[in-house]
Amino acid sequence: MIKAIRQILVLALLPLLALAGQAAYGQDEVLAIDWVDLMSQKDLDAILDAPEMSHESYGWQEQLENNPNAGPYMEALQSFDVNPDLVNKRVMLPGFIVPTAYDEDRKVTEFFLVPFFGACLHLPPPPPNQIIYVTYERGVELENFYDAHVVHGLLSSEVVRHDVADSAYRMEAEGVSLYSY
């Protein structure tokens, strides 16, 4: 419950974070976005109209496979559809870091930015259009995997396939900072 409240607070404070990012970095407009902004309208509609599932009988995959109305939902869970309005824009988004590469100083230089803690480590992972592959040359010292970070930079549409996850977006980070609650 506390994690959910923290995530809601992160999303509620995005406009303030965007202004702070612009002032701190003295650069052009940075769009403060929410995770749902990354999805196509079709995918968002399918996710919001999820089929009913039970915790009583069998696993979520079997329930979806046996439900003839679950097709659009299942497609949305694996979608690479991106929001074209955000491609090649500078954006700012809070999320959690899943490291994929480190430099010689053990700073994280490549990672997946995901909407919730534990994503990519538990099944099912978020849809690819809810995962951003980030490169950050300066690197970030990741002290605690539980901490949310705010990442801003140039967002592009590029499929990245990795053992950990697949993503539909890529970002060249201009800044990564610890989100303070």
- pLDDT of 170: 98
Residues 6 and 52 in one domain: no
Residues 56 and 26 in one domain: no
Q: What is the DSSP letter of 130?
A: G
Residues 24 and 110 in one domain: yes
Domain count, the chain: 2
Residues 73 and 88 in one domain: no
Phi-psi region of 120 (alpha: psi -120 to 50; beta: other; left: phi over 0): left
pLDDT at residue 24 greater than cutoff 80: no
Question: Which residues lie across from 96 on neighbouring strands?
Answer: 114
23: domain range?
Answer: 2-39+80-178
What is the reported pTM?
Answer: 0.78
Which tokens is 153 given? Answer: 């930079």
Q: What are the pLDDT digits (tens) for 132-159? A: 999 999 999 998 888 999 999 999 999 9
